[in-house]
Amino acid sequence: MHSEKEKPTCPFCDGKNVELYSSFGTAQLVRQYYCQNCKTVFESIRWSGNASPVKTQGIQTVGVVGSGTMGSGIAQTFLQSGLSVTLYDIEDEILERNSRNIITNIEKMKVKGKITPEQAESANRNLKVSAKLTDLSCLDLIIEAVPEIKSLKIELFKKLDAVSDPETVLATNTSSFSVTEFAANLNHPQRMIGIHFFNPAPLMPLIEIVKSQLTDQTTIDRTRDLFLQIKKRPVICKDTPGFIVNRIARSFYNESLRIVDEGLATHEKVDRIMKKAGGFKMGPFELQDLIGIDINYNTTQSLFDNFQNESRFKPHYLQKEMILANRLGRKTGKGFYKYE
């Protein structure tokens, strides 16, 4: 038994008033300490095989701005969990192509037994698409997944602030920019939060919930409860450059690039070693191709800028050359590897 002094903090919200909890239905969560609030959320979840979880009372309708790889993955994540999703992009043709990909991926999940036929049918029914921002006006949550360009995101949130209900949670999927800076441009900054997914979003359980200097506790609670309800693993963190994972990951990518550049090993060998010996599901070069070499480079550049040009975050010129050659990874058919 832990003494009060020895008790750990809650792994989801850093709360200190924790107690032992052992009835959440996955092996990873058996007999751990959680705060009372997270424990209450766990007790509201009822799983039966692959059945859909009970929806959170706070957030049931979601808008996703940007239908690219990450935006489509985020939309699919919510759809598979029984929520209604409106997917926005600037052109109908883009929306048609990417929404079709989402439906195809959901069908594959059904065939593999990852979701039930009922879940797949519900997901198909609950997906809406639109090229009008005003169609997002009455949703509980709107999350952006547009390119990692600060000015683009700031302008987008100004528009979303104007068209959405003041109670709507506005979220950014940024991997490196300041959430506080985005919030400061809003009329209702308390509802702004960071929700950082990892690629591929439907499969990766970790979610970084980033609280800005202006985010209120209600927004934090609603967001955390949503992801606990859909069986993700939210971690609340401060608004610092790169947050937690991307700050750590810069060394993973940068050192791998240096090893290849110095001729110590090929990118294929580095990936193979990291998977075979390190236990990683994907090597650093496979991951760069999946994420997008341009996105990875821009994230590193952002950390380099925000940490006053610390050498450990300096982007590698090899990535820059690949961007100039339009070898961006899977999305262009060629990166460190070739794709059909």
pTM for this predicted structure: 0.78
Q: Over 80: is that where the pLDDT of 269 sits?
A: yes
Average pLDDT over residues 183-204: 95
Sheet bearing 141-144, strands edge to edge: 127-130, 84-88, 61-65, 141-144, 169-172, 192-196, 206-211, 233-238
The answer to which of 57-71, 150-164, 204-218, 261-275 has the lowest mean pLDDT is 57-71
Residue 15: the pLDDT is: 66
Q: Please, what is the average pLDDT of the chain?
A: 87
CA distance 217 to 211: 9
pLDDT band at 23 (very low <50, low <70, confident <90, very high): very low
Average pLDDT over residues 28-41: 53
The answer to which of 15-19, 73-77, 141-145, 182-186 has the lowest mean pLDDT is 15-19
Token pair of 212 as six digits: 């800005």
Q: 212, 160, 216: which is closest to 190 by C-alpha? A: 216
Q: Over 80: is that where the pLDDT of 10 sits?
A: no
Token pair of 320 as six digits: 């820059």
Residue 34: the pLDDT is: 61
Token pair of 326 as six digits: 């339009």
Q: 84-143: per-residue pLDDT in tens?
A: 999 999 999 999 999 999 999 999 999 999 999 999 999 999 999 999 999 999 999 999
Catalytic residue list: 175, 196, 208, 246
Percent of all residues in the chain with a pLDDT value above 90, rounded to a whole number: 79
What are the backbone dihedrals phi and psi of residue 26, each rounded to the nearest 5 degrees, phi first?
A: -135, 150
Residue 56: the pLDDT is: 44
Token pair of 229 as six digits: 């309800």
CA distance 170 to 162: 12
Residue 36: the pLDDT is: 61
Q: When comparing pLDDT for 176 and 153, which is higher?
A: 153
Q: What is the DSSP string of 179-217?
A: HHHHHTTSSSGGGEEEEE--SSTTT--EEEEEE-SS--H
Residue 54: the pLDDT is: 40
Residue 199: the pLDDT is: 85
Cα 16 to Cα 36, 45, 71, 225, distances in angstroms: 10, 23, 34, 18
Residue 163: the pLDDT is: 96
Q: 277-330: per-residue pLDDT in tens?
A: 989 999 999 999 998 999 999 999 999 999 999 999 999 999 999 999 999 999
pLDDT band at 33 (very low <50, low <70, confident <90, very high): low
